[in-house]
Amino acid sequence: MSVPSDRKVAARFRDPGALVPRSMRRQSVGLPELSELQVLRHFNRLSQMNFSVELGMYPLGSCTMKYNPKVSELISGADGMKFAHPLQPIETVQGLLSIFYELERYLSEITGMHRFSLSTAAGAQGELAGVLMIRKYLRDHGQGKRSEILVPDSAHGTNPASATMGGFQVVKVPSDSNGQVRAASVRELCSDRTAGMMFTVPNTLGLFEVEVAEVCQAVHDAGGLMYYDGANMNALLGRARPGDMGFDIVHLNLHKTFATPHGGGGPGAGPVGVTRKLAGYLPVPVVSKGKGGYTLDYDLKHTIGPLKGFVGNSAILLRAYVYIRLLGASGLADVSSLAVAAANYLWKSLDAEAYPPSHGETRHRKHEAVVSVKSELPGAALTVAKAILDHGMHAPTVYFPLIVHEALMIEPTESEPIEMLDEYAAALNEIYREMKAGTLGAVPAFTSVGKIDEVKASHPMTLRVHW
Amino acid sequence: MSVAQRRHPLLPNLDESLVSKMLQKVGASSVDELFSDIPPNVRLNRKLKLPEGVSEYEVRREVQARLSRNSTPPGSLCFLGGGVWPHYVPAAVESITSRQEFYTSYTPYQAEMSQGMLQALFEYQSLMCDLLGMEACNSSLYDWASAAGEAVRMAARVTGRRKALIAGNAGPQRCAVIRTYTEPLGLELETVSFDKKKGTLDPEDLKRKLTTDVACLYFENPNYFGVIEEGVSSLVEIVHGAGALAIAGVDPISLSLVKEPGAYGADVAVGEGQPLGIALNYGGPHLGIFSVKDIKLARSMPGRLIGITSTVADPNEKAFCMVLQAREQHIRREAATSNVCTNQSLMAVAAASYLSLLGKWGFRRLGEVVISNSHYAAHRLSRVKGVKSPHFSGAFFKEFVVSYPKTSAAAVYRRLSRKGVLAGYPVQKSFDIGQAGLYCVTEVHTRDDIERLAGALEEAV
């Protein structure tokens, strides 16, 4: 390691540790002692035991594992981003703020919302912001007794978790046998206790919710607000906007739709947008443009407050901005067209008997397809998932949504060339044949380790090594 | 859609023949047909009002020009802190986190194919446990502020109590975020006052406010003023005496020289991992640290946890996977400990690399350089007319407050920045210590840099 040390300064402090009061001095730090080369070899080797989008197909449903443009990485490494401190005077970061301002305008146009806060660090944090805004808005309007949030049974787990964090009770809305939420069901579940509903369109089955406008109307009629989970926005870019469907609040996942890298589990960004009536409630700060230039506005009249320490995941916001500039209006519309075409093509290339669709078999899918694995064997979806790893491709999302038996949720994205779609379908079909014939063998066999004993792991004593 | 004449490097199937092939298999006559189930009244029947796409070269040139208009190092000097701090990011860390195998992967749902990420995160957890003196550390939350918010929520959850005490000398943004996070619980938040001379928490005020309905005390060490809480052990004792949890918010770099939270009895340690190999990045992404002392608390923790186990076939073959998932949203849904899904994993890998690169000797040496520089700077600034440096008498690590008897802190802050010196973030009025600014000095600052700061401050006051 090398740490700079100004000799003239160092000379004054023969024992810098003594500047810490004796009672507060640290005894020792148990860190490894390695050369730079050893550390690099270690992490390089680890990286070689890790699958990624840039190595092969990674069709995790609802994660939108599309390709992350290299130029975004390069631009985000600029000094003007890396070394910018969030507390430096805004006059000194006008270039950066102008980019955020434009990004905010673009996201508002794409979703049909009035204004966005770029501060929330992930979709789940955006959801929390949304739930808190619903809470505050209703209280401010004398509707504080509304304690319930409707969540479809197909919803992503973050939805009910966010609702609970916001102090609400979750009321489950059943999907019908066609995989749709009916406005009539929603109306039945609405009451004067309804604060709002969280809704994903297209839904986690990959199907557009055709009654979305009526659902929004039903909740509005009951006095509640509508929240749009934007995880599946890749299906709708340039085709439809949640603002036009009746939603009041929207979050977007920039690490999904807007091609910022997934980072092995983050960082992402989950900006949250609202209609005009809720604009004063957004989490702060928001980026504003005034006569003197761009500012960070912390004084929104009814803000729920900040959710993050500083302005937002800026380096991620920058990447999303670059992506939008690379695609542009026509390009973004092409994205949804091609993502949807790819998902349908892949789905139709699957053996329909092996992988029956979960719902609505006569309907076109949107950006992802959900199928069941047809088998008497328990854990068939898990077996298929592990087997596909041996083909050098990542498994789809498994066992989600909860309402589908032995579910596989496949989202290829628009990044995959048609040959990859063919290869993936062929692999899934072959795996099924082998499974049925009993010739599959133990899977996975070709990954860096074999099948892992995950059950044994779930004990707190496995969480760290002790020296 | 009209695909004729268009190609795009990000869209491999943007080709008429390929689109036809796909439509044929699907049995659709056009791409529009795939969207025909969108009710007409919600369809967007126009183009998005966005600029058209431009080439990589054009975007790069334009955006880089805009970013270069920012005033940052190396052109300017940055002595700002307040929760993220200017430290050196070793080249090797950047090299590791820019490996596409790490950054273009996702949450390791298929553990057998993601051992690299899982092991790296497990190493992060282990290294942080050693650094913090804790028994379990999750694989990241968004940042310090949200980690603090989650910690106070957890304390309320496990104690069943309705009140929380927040140190009056904790970071204002952290406090505001704690408020946002805990508002739905109806928790009563009360502030514990600090000694205006020393800058440290007032144990008498803590005793006064610590009743049996208090779930926790959240404090920072070093605190927002950079001052080391010398009496922290007795503060923690007082808190425990009332059956409440002690939540420490820390700067991990300080733990090179300053006692770690586990050693003074903290139940929960949260903090900001940004100085561990992550750039300032104008506010994010950063790294929320969240750890617990008592392993039993691990089941109430938010965030992802990685555990070490073995393969089914061979109990001697080590393997890593996500554990205790029953706490998380994808399993427990509305009963989850938190809603966190995507976190800051790649930043945790940066931190693991950083700590491995610096190592035992390097990390201690770093702390010595940092504290030498900051004390040299505080002393040098004390020779500037019209300032009191440092303002507080308490011992400090890398940040210190400078007060101005005759000048407005906001004016000093702005005047300094016009001279290319980013320093002296104004201390909020709510602290009631008069006009003052917060300064941060680390290993990146040389004697010449400090001289330039002093010169600029002389003119700014």
Domain boundary among A311, A326, A341: A326
| pLDDT tens by residue, B21-35 | 999 999 999 999 999
Residues A322 and A333 placed together within one structural domain of the fold:
no
Report the chain A residue with the minimal C-alpha distance to residue B134.
A464
- Helix (H) / strand (E) element for A127: namely helix A123-140
Does A66 fall in a domain? Answer: no
A341–B335 CB contact, under 8 Å: no
B48–A332 CB contact, under 8 Å: yes
Residue B270, exposed/middle/buried by CB under 10 A (0-12, 13-18, 19+)? buried
Residues A293 and A420 placed together within one structural domain of the fold:
no
Report the chain B residue with the minimal C-alpha distance to residue A171.
B334
Does A341 fall in a domain? Answer: yes
**Chain A contacts in chain B segment 413-442 (CB below 8 A):** 413-414, 417, 422, 425
**Cβ–Cβ under 8 Å, residues B372 and A9:** yes
The pLDDT value given to residue A4: 67
B257–A17 CB contact, under 8 Å: yes
Whole-angstrom distance, CA of residue A339 vs CA of residue A411: 8
DSSP SS3 for A195 = strand
Q: Who among A50, A270, A344 is closest to B116 (CB)? A: A50
pLDDT of chain B, 461 residues: tens digit per residue:
555 567 899 999 999 999 999 999 999 999 999 999 999 999 999 999 999 999 999 999 999 999 999 999 999 999 999 999 999 999 999 999 999 999 999 999 999 999 999 999 999 999 999 999 999 999 999 999 999 999 999 999 999 999 999 999 999 999 999 999 999 999 999 999 999 999 999 999 999 999 999 999 999 999 999 999 999 999 999 999 999 999 999 999 999 999 999 999 999 999 999 999 999 999 999 999 999 999 989 989 999 999 999 999 999 999 999 988 888 888 888 888 898 888 899 999 999 999 999 999 999 999 999 999 999 999 999 999 999 999 999 999 999 999 999 999 999 999 999 999 999 999 999 999 999 999 999 999 999 999 999 999 999 99
| pLDDT tens by residue, A315-369 | 999 999 999 999 999 999 999 999 999 999 999 999 999 999 989 889 999 999 9
Intervals of chain A under pLDDT 50: 1
Token pair recorded at residue B425: 């973030």
User: Which chain B residues are within 8 Å of A63, Cβ to Cβ?
Assistant: 106
Q: Mutate which of B281, B361, B392, B396 to test chain A, going by most A C-beta atoms within 10 A?
A: B281
Domain that holds residue A315: 72-326
Report the chain B residue with the minimal C-alpha distance to residue A22.
B230
Does A362 fall in a domain? Answer: yes
The pLDDT value given to residue B337: 80
Residues A345 and A391 placed together within one structural domain of the fold:
yes
Does A366 fall in a domain? Answer: yes
The pLDDT value given to residue B1: 54
Does A20 fall in a domain? Answer: no
Whole-angstrom distance, CA of residue B130 vs CA of residue B152: 23
Residues A269 and A357 placed together within one structural domain of the fold:
no
- B425-426/B436-440 β-pairing: antiparallel
Does A9 fall in a domain? Answer: no
Residues A164 and A309 placed together within one structural domain of the fold:
yes
Token pair recorded at residue B418: 């016009």
**Cβ–Cβ under 8 Å, residues B238 and B258:** no
Cα–Cα distance list, A17 to A341, B229, B254, B256, B369 (Å) = 64, 16, 11, 9, 10
Domain boundary among A326, A356, A386: A326
User: Which chain B residues are within 8 Å of A1, Cβ to Cβ?
Assistant: 90, 357-359, 361-362, 365
B283–A309 CB contact, under 8 Å: yes
Residues A314 and A346 placed together within one structural domain of the fold:
no
Residues A246 and A386 placed together within one structural domain of the fold:
no
A337–B258 CB contact, under 8 Å: no
Q: What are phi and psi of B269, to 5 degrees?
A: -125, 125
The pLDDT value given to residue A467: 58
Q: Who among B120, B143, B320 is closest to A308 (CB)? A: B143
Does A32 fall in a domain? Answer: no
B357–A1 CB contact, under 8 Å: yes
The pLDDT value given to residue A326: 97
B48–A109 CB contact, under 8 Å: yes
**Chain A contacts in chain B segment 164-223 (CB below 8 A):** 171, 173-174, 176-177, 179-181, 183-186
Q: Who among B84, B321, B359 is closest to A32 (CB)? A: B359
A305–B179 CB contact, under 8 Å: yes
User: Which chain B residues are within 8 Å of A109, Cβ to Cβ?
Assistant: 48-50
**Cβ–Cβ under 8 Å, residues A127 and A314:** no
Residues A244 and A362 placed together within one structural domain of the fold:
no
CATH code for the domain in which residue A172 is found: 3.40.640.10
**Chain B contacts in chain A segment 236-295 (CB below 8 A):** 237-241, 244-245, 253, 255, 259, 261-268, 270, 283
| pLDDT tens by residue, A270-295 | 999 999 999 999 999 999 999 999 99
B373 vs A: CB within 8 A: yes
B102–A239 CB contact, under 8 Å: no
The pLDDT value given to residue A1: 43
User: Which chain A residues are within 8 Å of B229, Cβ to Cβ?
Assistant: 24
Token pair recorded at residue A78: 């600029």
Domain boundary among A272, A301, A326: A326
Residues A171 and A115 placed together within one structural domain of the fold:
yes
Residues A224 and A260 placed together within one structural domain of the fold:
yes
CATH code for the domain in which residue A357 is found: 3.90.1150.10
Domains: count for chain A: 2
Does A11 fall in a domain? Answer: no
Can you tell me the ipTM of this complex?
0.97
Q: What is the interface size between A and B, counted as CB pairs within 8 Å?
A: 725
Residues A306 and A356 placed together within one structural domain of the fold:
no
Residues A355 and A313 placed together within one structural domain of the fold:
no
- Which domains are assigned to chain B? 1-58 (no CATH), 77-88+359-460 (3.90.1150.10), 91-354 (3.40.640.10)
Distance (Å) from the C-alpha of residue A437 to the closest C-alpha of chain B?
A: 23
The pLDDT value given to residue A437: 93
